Amino acid sequence: MTTSPPRRMRADARRNYERLLTEAAAVFAERGVDASLEDVARRAGVANGTLYSHFPTRQALLEALLRSSMENLAATARELRDHPSAYEALVTWLRAAIVHTTAYRGLAAPMMRSLKDETSELYAACQAVLAGGEALLSRAHAAGAIRADATPEDLYALVNAVAWAGEQTSPEQGERLLTFSLDGLRPT
Amino acid sequence: MTTSPPRRMRADARRNYERLLTEAAAVFAERGVDASLEDVARRAGVANGTLYSHFPTRQALLEALLRSSMENLAATARELRDHPSAYEALVTWLRAAIVHTTAYRGLAAPMMRSLKDETSELYAACQAVLAGGEALLSRAHAAGAIRADATPEDLYALVNAVAWAGEQTSPEQGERLLTFSLDGLRPT
DNA sequence: GAATTATATTGAGACAGCCTCAAGTTTGGC
DNA sequence: GCCAAACTTGAGGCTGTCTCAATATAATTC
């Protein structure tokens, strides 16, 4: 029933929880976030009911899987506040966010939809990403490096759209789209 | 077995073909391109085998469904070649392409993937769209209205990415992304 | 270290969707 | 009106999601 990081779980439960996460990472990496959950359970060597009891929804599983990399992303944002160039700091972070979103095929869509959906298990994580970008954006705004009407939500959408385009075609195509958009985000 | 526009079909087959298209349009409009095909068959009042015999794959159905609007898009491109402003002509057409891609939820992904996939039933249609943009782009290039390194594929990716972003969040967010990108596509 | 209790796991089962194909039905030409 | 060709049917095999009563295991208590 729990989705939180293992708290006072029974030893077997904890073992299965970890094993499920490990195998889910592998399966999602191979087949994307829409991969069969039966497959995940099979590979983890447990019955599917066990998977559902640990992770009631696919998003809950995804959330647990992404937690640490999300935290890394937030930490990176914090570090970049000290970067000499406000603009470069922002761009570097945006690229990191895109890499994060490219971890599993099909991840961009839930990331995008969960930003405004409070009922989503990914909601908090998405908001954290938004906040990370927000800090760097306002610094870039202050430095006059980014057009004034660009919002954090714009950047969030951009990151996901670029990640999506990249996974549908090629990372290079995503990169090209990013280049154009970033140029369009310079002050007029 | 046929997917082409009704040619010498038996009367009942033709009736069912049309009916399936009509209902598919309705169902896809309601639930997006990943809607249940069983649903389409049910609503058309035929067995699912009939649907599969007319449209062997979901993409074949989609192709038949999109054919006329694709042709409109190509026609629009031709008309716009005479527009006084090469830049405005291009932007107008890009907007039309985005509207087209927003016809059904989930359409952007197959449009994007089929551009380079010759085995896709949507391949020809996607190539036609690409060609439509290509003509307007080269005119804009000649007029010095668009940066020289922008390719037709870039515009194609942009259209789909914007349509995707718009359907995941809001059309307004898509519009904002488009604005930034278009600014970034001006010559440097 | 056995009994008790709380916690987990199991896997069958209900359901939906995809797709196929042998059997049956309908149409249209003669 | 008959017949071959064209078309439709729907049960059935498959995969996948999700639930829940029965069962098993770990932790706690005495």
- B37 CA to C29 C1' distance (Å): 35
For residue A172, what pLDDT is reported?
97
For residue B8, what pLDDT is reported?
84
B8-28 tens-digit pLDDT: 899 999 999 999 999 999 999
List bases in chain C with any atom under 7 Å of a protein Cβ: 7-13, 16-22, 26-28
Using an 8 Å CB-CB cutoff, list chain A residues near B184: 179-185
SS3 for chain B, per residue? CCCCCCCCCCHHHHHHHHHHHHHHHHHHHHHCCCCCHHHHHHHHCCCHHHHHHHCCCHHHHHHHHHHHHHHHHHHHHHHHCCCCCHHHHHHHHHHHHHHHHCCCCCCHHHHHHHCCCCCCCCHHHHHHHHHHHHHHHHHHHHCCCCCCCCCHHHHHHHHHHHHHHHHHCCHHHHHHHHHHHHHHHCCC
CB pairs under 8 A between A and B: 81
A107-122 tens-digit pLDDT: 999 999 999 999 999 9
For residue B1, what pLDDT is reported?
40
Instruction: Find the angle CA(B104)-CA(B111)-CA(B60) to the nearest 5 degrees.
Output: 80
For residue A165, what pLDDT is reported?
98
For residue B6, what pLDDT is reported?
52
CB proximity A96–strand D (7 Å threshold): no
CB of B167 within 8 A of CB of B108? yes
CB of B145 within 8 A of CB of B86? yes
A9-47 tens-digit pLDDT: 999 999 999 999 999 999 999 999 999 999 999 999 999
At residue B171, does pLDDT exceed 70?
Answer: yes
What would the CATH number be for the domain defined by A11-56? Answer: 1.10.10.60
Burial class for A10, CB neighbours closer than 10 Å (0-12, 13-18, 19+):
exposed
For residue A8, what pLDDT is reported?
83
For residue A188, what pLDDT is reported?
83
For residue A102, what pLDDT is reported?
97
CB under 8 Å, gap of 24 or more: what pairs does B162-167 form? B162/A161, B162/B98, B163/B98, B163/B101, B163/B102, B163/B107, B163/B108, B164/A161, B164/A164, B164/A165, B164/B108, B164/B109, B165/A112, B165/A157, B165/A160, B165/A161, B165/A164, B166/B98, B166/B102, B167/B102, B167/B105, B167/B106, B167/B108
B168 with A113: Cβ contact below 8 A: yes
Which of A149, A164, A172 is the mutation pick for testing B, counting most B CBs within 10 A?
A164
What percent of chain A stands above pLDDT 70?
96
For residue A7, what pLDDT is reported?
60
Cβ < 7 Å from strand D, B residues 140-159: none
Closest CA to B157 of B188, B120, B129: B129
Q: Which nucleotide is nearest to B13 (CA to C1')?
A: D7
- Which contiguous run of DSSP H or E holds residue A173? helix A171-184
CB proximity A11–strand D (7 Å threshold): yes
CA closest to D5 C1', residue: B10
pLDDT band at A146 (very low <50, low <70, confident <90, very high): very high
For CATH 1.10.357.10, list the domain ranges present in chain B: 66-185
- Which contiguous run of DSSP H or E holds residue A60? helix A58-80
Report the distance separating Cα A89 and Cα A87, nearest Å: 5
For residue A116, what pLDDT is reported?
95
What would the CATH number be for the domain defined by B66-185? Answer: 1.10.357.10
For CATH 1.10.357.10, list the domain ranges present in chain A: 66-184
At residue B2, does pLDDT exceed 60?
Answer: no
B58-80 and B37-44 helices, crossing angle to 10°:
90
Q: Which nucleotide is nearest to A13 (CA to C1')?
A: C8
Average pLDDT over residues B116-126: 95
Q: Which residues contact A95 (CB under 8 A, 6 or more apart)?
A: A178
CATH superfamily of A66-184: Tetracycline Repressor, domain 2 (1.10.357.10)
Q: Which residue of B has its CA nearest to A146?
A: B180
B62-119 tens-digit pLDDT: 999 999 999 999 999 999 999 999 999 999 999 999 999 999 999 999 999 999 999 9
Report the distance separating Cα B128 and Cα A97, nearest Å: 34
From residue A132, alpha-carbon distances to A67, A69, A155, B101 in Å are: 15, 13, 11, 32
CA closest to C11 C1', residue: A47
For residue A2, what pLDDT is reported?
37
Count of residues in chain B: 188
- Mean residue pLDDT of chain B comes to 95
Using an 8 Å CB-CB cutoff, list chain A residues near B160: 165, 168
pLDDT band at A3 (very low <50, low <70, confident <90, very high): very low
For CATH 1.10.10.60, list the domain ranges present in chain B: 11-56
Instruction: Write out the two tokens for A16.
Output: 């299965």
Closest CA to A114 of A106, A126, A97: A126
- A157 CA to C12 C1' distance (Å): 44
For residue A65, what pLDDT is reported?
97
- A11 CA to D27 C1' distance (Å): 10
For residue B4, what pLDDT is reported?
52
Whether B173 and chain A come into contact, CB under 8 Å, resolves to: yes
